[in-house]
């Protein structure tokens, strides 16, 4: 395989790898924390794990010159990974908002939604807007939940998590806009900028999670 010649595709691939490394680091950090809430730690670890996997697949799709068939296979796996990541993310939010019982009940439904999202992307390939809508619904739900938890003082770190979700919403908006770009030594298009902003969002989420896993 040959590296892509496009400058913006190169920076997108590199920032995809950085996003994957940050998500993988988040898993390590959560597993290192000493907390009785093992279910919560494992749920968020799975969410970050699928983000890391999607980042690596994105680096392959953007960083190399591939045949159309190979590129489509990678995008199919990428869509599946993103769909599962969003669904597990929602389960983690439900746990914080309503507890283990509710999170356990919605788990199979979120799995069905992830699979359904994947098959929709197979029926309508190449339409990334489908993921933007799916992600936006999950992000606004999460932002509302953590804002409510912060206002009512029910969860340590919920304010930081709400800010992290807001940053992720901004990141998704940048990716959806598509006409955003800048050059600072290297050229970045909307995808590369999205990854950089999303990394900040993940770090804020991780900081909030750390506080939420501490005793009240």
**Per-residue pLDDT for the chain (216 aa), expressed as one digit of tens each?**
788 888 999 999 999 999 999 999 999 999 999 888 999 999 999 999 999 999 999 999 999 988 889 988 999 999 899 999 999 999 999 999 999 999 999 999 999 999 998 888 888 776 667 778 889 999 999 999 999 999 999 999 999 999 999 999 999 998 888 788 788 888 989 999 999 999 999 999 999 999 999 765
Q: Which residue has the tokens 């940050």?
A: 22
What is the per-residue pLDDT across 29-59, written as a single tens digit (0 to 9) for each?
999 998 889 999 999 999 999 999 999 999 9
Contact 210, 174 (CB under 8 A): no
Position 215 scores a pLDDT of 63
Q: Residue 115 and residue 112: Cα distance in Å, rounded?
A: 5
d(CA 186, CA 106): 43
Give the pLDDT of residue 164.
97
Q: In whole angstroms, give the CA distance from residue 129 to residue 91.
A: 23
Q: Is the dihedral of CA 159, 160, 164, 166 positive or negative?
A: positive
Expressed as residue numbers, the domain containing 21 is: 2-212
The count of structural domains within the chain is 1
């Amino acid at each position: 395989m040959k590296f892509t010649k496009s400058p913006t595709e190169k920076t997108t691939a590199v920032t995809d790898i950085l996003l994957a490394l940050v998500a993988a680091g988040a898993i390590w950090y959560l597993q290192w924390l000493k907390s009785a809430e093992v279910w919560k730690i494992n749920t968020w670890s799975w969410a970050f794990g699928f983000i890391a996997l999607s980042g690596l697949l994105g680096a392959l799709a953007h960083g190399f010159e591939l045949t159309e068939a190979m590129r489509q296979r990678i995008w199919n796996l990428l869509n599946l990974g993103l769909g599962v990541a969003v669904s597990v993310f929602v389960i983690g939010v439900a746990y914080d908002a309503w507890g283990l019982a509710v999170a356990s009940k919605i788990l199979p439904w979120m799995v069905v939604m992830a699979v359904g999202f994947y098959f929709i992307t197979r029926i309508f390939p190449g339409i990334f807007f489908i993921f933007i809508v799916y992600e936006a619904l999950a992000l606004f739900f999460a932002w509302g939940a953590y804002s409510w938890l912060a206002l009512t003082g029910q969860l340590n770190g919920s304010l930081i998590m709400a800010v992290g979700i807001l940053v992720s919403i901004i990141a998704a908006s940048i990716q959806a806009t598509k006409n955003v770009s800048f050059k600072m030594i290297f050229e970045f298009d909307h995808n590369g900028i999205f990854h950089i902003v999303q990394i900040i969002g993940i770090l804020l989420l991780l900081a909030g999670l750390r506080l939420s896993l501490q005793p009240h």
